[in-house]
Structure 1
Amino acid sequence: MSSISSVTLLGSGVLGGQIAWHSAFKGKNVVVYDIAEDALTHCREAHQQYAAIYAGSLGASETDIAATHGRLTFTTDIADAVRGADLVIEAVPEIPDVKTVVFKEIADLLPEHTLVATNSSTLLPSTFAEATGRPEKFCALHFGNGIWAMNFAEIMAHALTARSTLTQITEFAIEIGMMPIPVRKEQNGYVVNTWTLALSNAAQTLVTNGISTPEDVDRSFMKFGFPIGPFGMLDQVNMKTAFDILAYWGEVRDDRQMTANAQWIKENLIDKGRHGAQSGAGYYTWPEPAFMAPDFLAIPDISKVPEIVSLLLPS
């Protein structure tokens, strides 16, 4: 059993909120920190949604839900947030400079024994190890969106991570019901996002360049037996994260198409208030996106042929 009983989440966004709720559901005492009270309010609202999901999908009782709420604390005071933490999980935006500032801010505030992990989905722990002030107690611990169902945790060390740190982090992951995915070498994108970034960028390229639509891309993907397509997944990740990742790697790789894909997301979704599933709209309208409709993968009636043919001809 790990020595981790008190966990602090730095960042109350989609994944930060999910990790906080799930860790509390599994018996950990959790403090959720964010810079703005509005963000914490949104997180509390999301936790009400998760309560319903856990009751319906995981069989959580009213007592379980009440106990989970009771283990959660929210604050905009970062010193207060980390004061009693055994583990601090950073889940702020996927922007290297932002993460570095946060790690430097907490470095002198942490108890000596506290472990630190980044929930980064693409960035390397070695990028931030020095900023934490405790590189031997730092590693990456990346969770999947929809943590109650996508219950995996990618664990990545850097050159100075202590074995004892990795032992406790792996034990913690198992204690909260995660399947550990050991990333054996530092790799941008880890395991999951190495293939999902490629998939998402390829899918968005088809839309950015006017070759297909989100719905038809997802149809082609789901016909292989997958329950959800790339755009359904992106909606659940949220548009800001998708934009940040594509914009960052587009610049790093000097990839004009990836940069154009990020810009498409900004102009067509973010700027129009379509931030993804939690906001009620992204590529799809939620909570009943089109890809969940019974007829989404149905063969169309032959009367639709003229409409389909019109899509194949120059406009």
Structure 2
Amino acid sequence: MNYKNITIAGSGVLGYQIAFQTAFHGFNVTVYDINDTVLEKAKSKFKSMCEAFKKDLNATEQELDKTFENLRYTSDLADAVKDADLLIEAVPENPKIKIDFYNKLAKVASEKTVFVTNSSTLLPSQFADATGRPSKFLALHFANTIWIHNTAEIMGHATTDPKVFKDVVAFAKAIGMLALPLNKEQPGYILNSLLVPLLSAATNLLISEVATPEIIDKTWMKATGAPLGPFAILDVVGITTVYNINKTAAENTKDELKIKTVKYLKENFIDKNKLGVSTGEGFYKYPNPTYKNSDFLK
């Protein structure tokens, strides 16, 4: 693995974390997004990442200064990938948006550039043809708060080059991840194959008016010893991602409960910009959500 120049496409919930983590570990990182306004937001989020890295990783000022030196920003896709050895796609979890992105990317990227998707639920085979380089395309999926929950699931598709797969595994290790290679394609990988049914069951209970988010979270936390309940997790993941996943499922299955969930999330969260931790409010208010109160489970 001789990757040096890494491009992160998308600076949202996971994109900016991947960019900072990669730059922290000494790679040259280009952050790409659709316009300069969005990129300015990413820059402000990097400042909060500094505090997290100091607190959780004991990062020094010197290490963080070097991290910022390793970061550059652009809203020009051709410029973003002109020297890229690896491009990590972290655009919204919507098949149409991803295919459109890959169609544009394939026209401007160097032949050497390996593409990986950070999709949390979609399969690389869905986009392989759109990339124009199926053998150099696979999935590299990160969990949220990647500097702490440092998992990296690596999943190829039928025609992924085995050497490219090994190189991406090595890259994941090089940026401080626990590399978790999968032997075959699996919707939801490992993490979300376990997590999504939990979150889906929780939203079903809410939409069916069985219990409130707080009561559902209390039940899960107290009964299992988990540090977070499903609705706290949804706030961390980001409600936009959850909305997009449910919207795709509703369109594909016409399931009545999924349709109700999409409507509920749109009216109560998306339209009100209550998108979770990133906007200061979702199912809970931040920075001091009630589930962190010492008496929440009493």
Q: Higher Cα Rg: structure 1 or 2?
A: 1
Question: Is the CA contact 2:6–2:86 (under 8 Å) kept in the aligned structure 1?
Answer: yes
Equivalent residue number for residue 227 of structure 1: 227
Equivalent residue number for residue 244 of structure 1: 244
Deviation at 1:41, TM superposition (A): 1.4
Question: Is the CA contact 2:56–2:148 (under 8 Å) kept in the aligned structure 1?
Answer: no
Distance across 1 between alignment mates of 2:279 and 2:133 = 37
SS in 1 for 2:115: strand
Which aligned segments of 4 or more residues in structure 1 are displaced greater than 6 angstroms? none
Deviations 1:163-211 (A, max 9, x none): 1110110000011111122222212111111222111111011111211
Equivalent residue number for residue 283 of structure 2: 283
Deviations 1:120-165 (A, max 9, x none): 0011101111111111110011110110111001111111100111
Give the 5 Å matches for 1:44-193: 44-193=43-192
Question: Is the CA contact 1:201–1:258 (under 8 Å) kept in the aligned structure 2?
Answer: no
Equivalent residue number for residue 12 of structure 2: 13
Structure 1 portions without partners, runs of 5+: 299-315
Equivalent residue number for residue 27 of structure 1: 26
Question: Is the CA contact 2:206–2:213 (under 8 Å) kept in the aligned structure 1?
Answer: yes
Query: TM-score when scaled to structure 1?
Result: 0.92
SS in 1 for 2:17: helix
SS in 2 for 1:257: helix
Deviation at 1:253, TM superposition (A): 2.7
Deviation at 1:78, TM superposition (A): 0.5
Deviation at 1:24, TM superposition (A): 0.6
Query: TM-score when scaled to structure 2?
Result: 0.97
Deviation at 1:50, TM superposition (A): 0.8
Distance across 1 between alignment mates of 2:89 and 2:95 = 12
Deviation at 1:255, TM superposition (A): 2.1
Question: Is the CA contact 1:138–1:161 (under 8 Å) kept in the aligned structure 2?
Answer: yes
Question: Is the CA contact 1:7–1:86 (under 8 Å) kept in the aligned structure 2?
Answer: yes
Q: Percent identity?
A: 43
Distance across 2 between alignment mates of 1:284 and 1:5 = 40
SS in 2 for 1:56: helix
Deviation at 1:262, TM superposition (A): 2.1
Deviations 1:51-88 (A, max 9, x none): 10001111001111111111111110000000110100
Deviation at 1:248, TM superposition (A): 0.6
SS in 1 for 2:59: coil
Equivalent residue number for residue 294 of structure 1: 294
Question: Is the CA contact 1:242–1:262 (under 8 Å) kept in the aligned structure 2?
Answer: no
Question: Is the CA contact 1:274–1:282 (under 8 Å) kept in the aligned structure 2?
Answer: yes
Structure 1 counterpart of 2:10, one-letter code? G
SS in 1 for 2:100: helix
Question: Is the CA contact 2:136–2:164 (under 8 Å) kept in the aligned structure 1?
Answer: yes
Deviates more, 1:177-186 or 1:72-81: 177-186
Structure 2 counterpart of 1:296, one-letter code? F
Structure 2 portions without partners, runs of 5+: none
Question: Is the CA contact 1:75–1:81 (under 8 Å) kept in the aligned structure 2?
Answer: yes
SS in 1 for 2:108: coil
Aligned residues: 297
Question: Is the CA contact 2:169–2:181 (under 8 Å) kept in the aligned structure 1?
Answer: no
